[in-house]
Amino acid sequence: METGAPVDAVSDPEAAISVLRSADESSNRVLLALCLGSFVATLTFVAPAPFLSDMADDLDVGVPLLGQLVTAMTLLGVPLALVAGPLADHRGHRRLILFGLVAAAACLLNIGLAPTFALLLLSALAGALADATVPGLSLAVAGTYFSGAASRRAIGWTVGSLASAAIIGVPIMALVGDVLGWRITFLGAGGVALAVGGVASRWLPHDSRNPDGPFRLRSLAAAYRPLLGDRSMLNLYASSVLRSACWIGMLTYFGAFLKDELRFTTGQVGLTYMLGGGGYFLGSLAAGGPFARIPPRPLVAGANMAMAVLMGLAFSAVLGAAGSVALLPLAGIAGAVGWVGLASLLTTETPAGVGATMTLSGAVFNLGGAAGGAFGGLLLYLAGYTALAVCLPVFAVASGALVWRR
């Protein structure tokens, strides 16, 4: 990390202190830009959930069909994510992060303005671009701009900002939506995303890259070939697909379930999501703390199966409204522990580069989420919320079984 011209601390201690203070302030600005960008990009995915019923009424479509907006985002994000990582390594991370933040703003603004479901689907492409660029590349900058303990701290805060979209962003939007309506709420969120993009353009570090020749798509195959030829890695990726299908598929319709079956208000749905996001955040910390001594394979298998049971019970409403609300943060803890453990396995057992490994991981996670959202919508259409409570957790159980086998 550059801090300017060298200073003789003995002959000019005040100048040395000034340089150190300036470097510290610059690092804090970079970290804040990374966290805000990750927050905004994640918001494009999680924000629609509390508003699905209201949006469905205004647009004259069913909740199952409207839920495919998130499905389309995750599905489109699969090929985009596979290209974004190598492209950013070639052309620079800052440029693609800023592009992704503009896409996030376009997604949120279009949701607020779209008069029909057909035009609303344009938000899916913008949201997919934001997801394919901002979160992963923000972690890349956090890991390379900072060093030593500062790097680990920066990565931790950037990851935490992903969960904060559900903990902070969704409840605020839900409360505002109760007063001003969902359209004004999304327009306001789009304005915030534009402001974050402006901050990031000033505070993100410039890449010092001199690419040799143009970026060629055929180089992608060489990056991912070792992963696709390793049976153990394929098991881990299959596990990721299955757990994502359960997790995303159920979260997509949980807000509508609370409103339609338990008669929650939009504000109450937002607060419930805040509790779930808080559980996810705590689970992320627990995976590297109290659970750090548990071997990763039994940890992931147990967490995935616990998530299956907890999400199924929450969706079934057998414990009543209070029970469903109480189970969501517990499911969030299990979901986060499973994801951190799975990421640890991927990075330690990979036969290829870690960057390609995690880029592919993000793509298959989106693929599983898209499948879960689509299948969940079909189940909801054919047999109601009870079918979701019974069928989707089966995917998480299968995910745990795959991880248990080496």
**pLDDT over 90 for what percent of the chain?**
18
| Range name among 116-125, 176-185, 277-286, 395-404 with the lowest pLDDT average | 277-286
Cβ distance 178 to 265 under 8 Å? yes
The confidence score (pLDDT) of residue 330 equals: 92
Q: Is the pLDDT of residue 130 over 90?
A: yes
Q: Do 32-205 and 222-406 fold alike per CATH? A: yes
Cβ distance 288 to 377 under 8 Å? no
The confidence score (pLDDT) of residue 15 equals: 46
Q: 334-360, pLDDT tens digit by residue?
A: 988 887 778 777 767 878 765 567 777
Q: 169-194, pLDDT tens digit by residue?
A: 888 888 898 889 899 999 999 999 99
Q: From the CB of residue 328, how many other CB atoms can be counted at a distance below 10 Å? A: 26
Residue corresponding to tokens 């534009």: 194
Position 2 confidence tier, pLDDT thresholds 50, 70, 90: very low
- Listed in order, strand segments (DSSP E) in 204-260 are none
Rounded-to-integer distance, Cα 389 and Cα 400, Å? 18
Helix (H, G, I), strand (E, B) or coil at 59: helix
The confidence score (pLDDT) of residue 184 equals: 94
| Range name among 35-44, 119-128, 220-229, 241-250 with the lowest pLDDT average | 220-229
Residue corresponding to tokens 């070792």: 226
Architecture of domain 32-205: Up-down Bundle (1.20)
Mention every residue, 6+ apart, whose C-beta is less than 8 A from residue 97: 37, 133, 134, 137, 138, 141, 200, 204
Q: 221-248, pLDDT tens digit by residue?
A: 777 788 888 888 899 999 989 998 988 8
Cβ distance 268 to 52 under 8 Å? no
The confidence score (pLDDT) of residue 9 equals: 44
Q: Kindly report the CA angle at 127 between 124 and 130, in degrees rounded to 5? A: 150
Rounded-to-integer distance, Cα 222 and Cα 203, Å? 34
Q: What is the CATH number of domain 222-406?
A: 1.20.1250.20
Helix (H, G, I), strand (E, B) or coil at 181: coil
Tell me the torsion sign for CA atoms 398, 298, 156, 84: negative
- Is the pTM higher than 0.85? no
Rounded-to-integer distance, Cα 75 and Cα 69, Å? 10
Cβ distance 360 to 79 under 8 Å? no
The confidence score (pLDDT) of residue 191 equals: 95
Cβ distance 403 to 241 under 8 Å? no
Q: Is 345 left (phi over 0), alpha (psi -120 to 50) or beta?
A: alpha
Average pLDDT over residues 127-146: 82
The confidence score (pLDDT) of residue 16 equals: 42
Map out the domains of the chain as residue ranges: 32-205, 222-406
The confidence score (pLDDT) of residue 85 equals: 75
Average pLDDT over residues 353-372: 75
Helix (H, G, I), strand (E, B) or coil at 391: helix
Cβ distance 246 to 307 under 8 Å? yes
Q: 288-329, pLDDT tens digit by residue?
A: 667 767 887 898 899 999 999 998 898 887 788 888 888 989
Distances (CA, A) of 32 to 38, 192, 196, 204: 10, 15, 10, 9
Q: Choose among 39, 162, 46: nearest CA to 101.
A: 39
Position 206 confidence tier, pLDDT thresholds 50, 70, 90: confident
The confidence score (pLDDT) of residue 61 equals: 85
The confidence score (pLDDT) of residue 104 equals: 95
Q: Which residue has the higher pLDDT, 151 or 48?
A: 48
DSSP conformational letter for 206: P
Q: 46-91, pLDDT tens digit by residue?
A: 888 788 888 888 888 888 788 778 778 877 887 888 888 778 777 7
